[in-house]
Amino acid sequence: MVFSSTSFLYYFLPIVLAVYFLVPFRYKNTILFFSSLFFYFYGEPVYSILMVLSCTSGYLHGIWIEQAKGGRYAKIPLISSIVFSIGPLIFFKYADFLIVNANWVLNSNIPLLRIALPIGISFYTFQIMSYTIDVYRGEAEVQRKLGNFTMYVSFFPQLIAGPIVRYTTIEREIQNRKHSFENFAYGVRRFVCGLSKKVFLANTLGELASLLQNTQAKSILSYWIVAIAFPLQVYFDFSGYSDMAIGLGRMFGFRFLENFNYPFISRSITEFWRRWHISLGTWFRDYVYIPMGGNRVSMAKWIVNIVVVWFLTGFWHGAEWNFVLWGLYFSLLLVLEKLVLKSLLDRMPGILARMLTLFFILISFVLFNADGVGESLESFKGMFGLLNIPYSNLHTLYYLKSYRVILIISVIAATPLFSKLIGRLKGFKISGIVISVLEPLVQVLLLLLITAYLVDGSFNPFIYFRF
C-alpha cells in the first residue's frame, strides 16, 4: 500500500485515525502496531514475517546489550545485533549482485537466486541498528516492552521509505505524547503538501523522463532534459514522501526530523549532502564516519574514511555498479572540494557557485538513473554530443513544449521562493487573513484533484521502493 492510493487515503487512514483517537492512551501504541503490520502485510504478506523477526531480534539484542554493559564481553551482543540486522539485508538485496560478480571473476556459473527485495528493508534495518548501537553507547534507554519497540520500527508512516527515524528522536513520545488540534492540522497540511508534490510534480516529471528515455528519436537536448527532469522527479518523489511521513507522524503525536531542505540551492557538494536525504547522511556520519575517526585523523586516513562512507552510501542505494560509482563520484568531489574547490567556490559569486554545484549534481543523477554502467556511459555520450545525433528534433521540442509549464513550476518549487513569499504575505494583516481562509479550501481542492488523478489510474511509480 502506498500513500498515493485511494485505498490508503479513503479506507486505511480514516479507519486507523478513528480507532486510534477513540481508544484510551494505553492502547494507542497497540493500534499503531497492528495497523502498521496490516499496512505492510497488504503489500508484502510473506516478508511481513521477516520484518517482525527483525524487530524481535533488535528488541532482544537491546536487552542483551543492556545486561552486558560494563562486562568483559560487552561488545559481543552489539556485534551479534549488527550481524543479525545486516545479514538479511545483504542476503535479500545483494546476493545476486555478489553471485554475478563471483561468476565473472571465477568464470563460474553459479545460478542466481532471483529473490524479491522486501520493501523498506534498507530503512527498517538501519533503524534497528541505530537503536542497538545507541543502547550500547548509553545514548538511548533500552525499550523493555516488545510492543512499543515493534511499533517504533514498523510505524507505517516511515516503514517503507523513511525517513530513517532514530529511536532517540521519538523515545519519549513512544511513552508519553501529546495530541492537539494544532498538531493534527499541521500534519494534514504537511501530508497534503507532500502528496501534491508526489502526484502533480514527481509523477509528471517521471512521465517526461520516461517518454524521452524510451524514444528512438533522441537528441542532445532530450538527454539534457532527462538529466534535469529525473533529479527533480527523485526530489519531489522522495521529499514528498518524507513530507507525508512527517505529516502522518504529527497527526499521531510524533515529531520526525526533516529529511530535505532545498538541496538544489546548495553552494557546494558538502552543503548539498547536508540538505539531501538528511536522515541517511547523518546515519552514516554518526555510525560509520565518526567512529572511523572522521576528519580528526591524518589526510590519508581521512580520504580513506570518505571513500568508505561514500562507497557504502552508494551501495545502500542499490546492488549495481553504477550506484557504487555514484557514491565514489561524490567521495571524489568531496575530497577535491576540501583540498581545492572550497576556496574557489567561496570566492565565486553565489549564483556561479550554485550553478557549478548543480552541474556536478546533475551529472551524478545520470549515473543514478542508469540501468547499469553501460547505460550511464551512453547517456553521457548523448549529453555531450558523442553519439552522432542532432542537437534537437521535432520530437524533443514537442515534449519540451508540452511539459514546459511543469518544468518551470518544478524548478521554482525546488527553491524556497514559494515558502518565503507565503511567509511574507502571512506577516501582513489582510493577506494573512486571506491565506488562513483560503489554505484549508486549497487543501480540499488539491485532495479532490489528487483523487481524480489516482482514480484515473495515471502514472504513479515510487522510485525509493527499490531501495
Assess contact for 462 and 162: CB atoms under 8 A.
Answer: no
Contact 162, 243 (CB under 8 A): no
pLDDT of residue 308: 96
pLDDT digits 0-9 by tens, 344-399? 877 888 899 999 999 999 999 999 998 888 889 999 999 999 998 999 999 999 99
Convert 446-455 to b/e letters by CB count within 10 Å (16 or more is b).
Answer: bbeebeebbe
Q: What local confidence, expressed as pLDDT, does residue 200 receive?
A: 92
Contact 143, 447 (CB under 8 A): no
Q: On the CB side of 311, how many CA atoms lie within 13 Å of its CA?
A: 7
Chain position carrying cell 545485533: 81
> Residue 253, by phi and psi: left (phi above 0), alpha (psi -120 to 50) or beta?
left
- Determine the pLDDT at residue 454: 85
CA 120 to the chain's CA centroid = 10
d(CA 213, CA 206): 10
Phi and psi, residue 217, nearest 5°: -95, 70
* Alpha helix (H) residue ranges in 72-202: 75-106, 121-137, 146-154, 156-159, 167-175, 181-196
Average pLDDT for runs of 10 along the chain of length 467: 87 95 93 94 88 95 93 91 95 93 90 90 94 95 93 92 90 91 94 94 94 91 95 95 95 95 94 95 95 91 95 92 94 92 81 93 93 88 92 93 94 92 83 83 90 75 58
Backbone angles phi, psi at 163, to 5 degrees: -65, 165
Determine the 3-state secondary structure of 85 from DSSP: helix
DSSP symbol at 287: I
Supply the DSSP string of 333-392, one letter for each residue.
HHHHIIIIIHHHHHHS-HHHHHHHHHHHHHHHHHHHHSSSHHHHHHHHHHHTT-SS--S-
Question: In the 8-state DSSP scheme, what is residue 200?
Answer: I
| C-beta separation of 279 from 164 below 8 A | yes
Question: Which pLDDT score is estimated for 463?
Answer: 62
Using only C-alpha atoms, the chain has a radius of gyration, in whole angstroms, of: 23
Instruction: Please identify which of the residues 61, 179, 277, 317 carries the catalytic annotation.
Output: 317
Among residues 59, 177, 55, 66, the alpha carbon closest in space to that of 120 is found at: 55
Cβ 259 vs Cβ 163: under 8 Å: yes
d(C-alpha 136, C-alpha 75), whole Å: 8
179 is catalytic: no
pLDDT tens across 431-466, in order? 888 888 888 898 989 999 988 888 876 666 656 555
Q: Which residues of 159-194 are buried (b: 16+ CB within 10 A; e: fewer)?
A: bbbbbbbbbebbbebbeebeeeeebbeebbbbbbbb
CA gap 129, 127 in Å, rounded: 5
311 touches 284 (CB < 8 A): no
Distances (CA, A) of 160 to 147, 227, 416: 19, 27, 27
